[in-house]
Amino acid sequence: MSWSVQQEGLRPINVSATGGQLLHLLAWISGARRILEIGTLGGYSAIWLARALPADGKLISLEISEHHASVARHNLAQAGLANKVEVRVGPALATLTAMEEAGEAPFDLVFIDADKEGYSAYLPKAVALVRAGGLILADNTLPDEVLVPTGDSGAKRYNAAVAAHSALLSTIVPVLRRQGLDGLTISIKRG
């Protein structure tokens, strides 16, 4: 596969290989057939997730940038996943609201990896769109500042929101990055 992210001017802010493997494993062991991703970039995490889907599985990935979406579609086609993955372009909150209003079929797994300031607004949409027993995953939720008691950040607000959500049971797992550690918040919707 010709992998093109930096060649296309995209920042290398995709999940690490370790993070991709964790996503693949979680999609696989949860038997996910329908996956929703928020934040496509060049399609790297979408490829890890989509490769865990069964033959008739589907992944919908939301991306604000038309250029990123076009690079991702190219990479997904190169990976033989064009028939399983649909990239929808627009601000994620608007796309999620439209999906909810249109009565989109429930997802088995939602992966949040877009603008960190938006995470808390994406959470209620993800809870509405995931089935009972389904997973909501959020990336970059254990940056250094999360361990500092004072201060505010999108990741801190997101972790506080999942911890307080009565429909969710959650934990954070550390994930290896290019430099050091970050984390993935894993929540299951009680059913």
Ligand X SMILES: C[S@@+](CC[C@H](N)C(=O)[O-])C[C@H]1O[C@@H](n2cnc3c(N)ncnc32)[C@H](O)[C@@H]1O
Footprint of ligand X (CB under 6 A): 13-15, 39-41, 44-45, 62-65, 68, 91-92, 113-115, 118
Residue 159 CB, nearest distance to ligand X (Å)? 17
Contact at 8 Å (CB) between 38 and 49? no
Please give the backbone phi and psi of residue 86, each rounded to the nearest 5 degrees, phi first: -115, 130
Q: Which is closer to ligand X, CB of 27 or CB of 62?
A: 62
Q: Which residues, including other chains, have CB under 8 Å from residue 94's CB and lie 6 or more apart? A: none
Q: How far apart are CA 46 and CA 61, in angstroms?
A: 7
Residue 189 CB, nearest distance to ligand X (Å)? 21
Residue 96 CB, nearest distance to ligand X (Å)? 9
Residue 185 CB, nearest distance to ligand X (Å)? 15
Q: Which is closer to ligand X, CB of 22 or CB of 56?
A: 22
Q: Which is closer to ligand X, CB of 15 or CB of 168?
A: 15
Residue 5 CB, nearest distance to ligand X (Å)? 8
Positive or negative: CA dihedral 166, 182, 75, 92: positive
Helices (H), the chain: 17-29, 44-50, 66-78, 92-101, 119-129, 154-164
Q: Which is closer to ligand X, CB of 117 or CB of 132?
A: 117
Q: Which is closer to ligand X, CB of 65 or CB of 171?
A: 65
Place of tokens 């796309």: 95
The number of residues making up the chain comes to: 191
Q: How far apart are CA 141 and CA 164, in angstroms?
A: 16
Q: Which is closer to ligand X, CB of 12 or CB of 133?
A: 12
Q: Which two tokens stand for residue 74?
A: 């190219």
Residue 92 CB, nearest distance to ligand X (Å)? 3
Determine the 3-state secondary structure of 157 from DSSP. helix
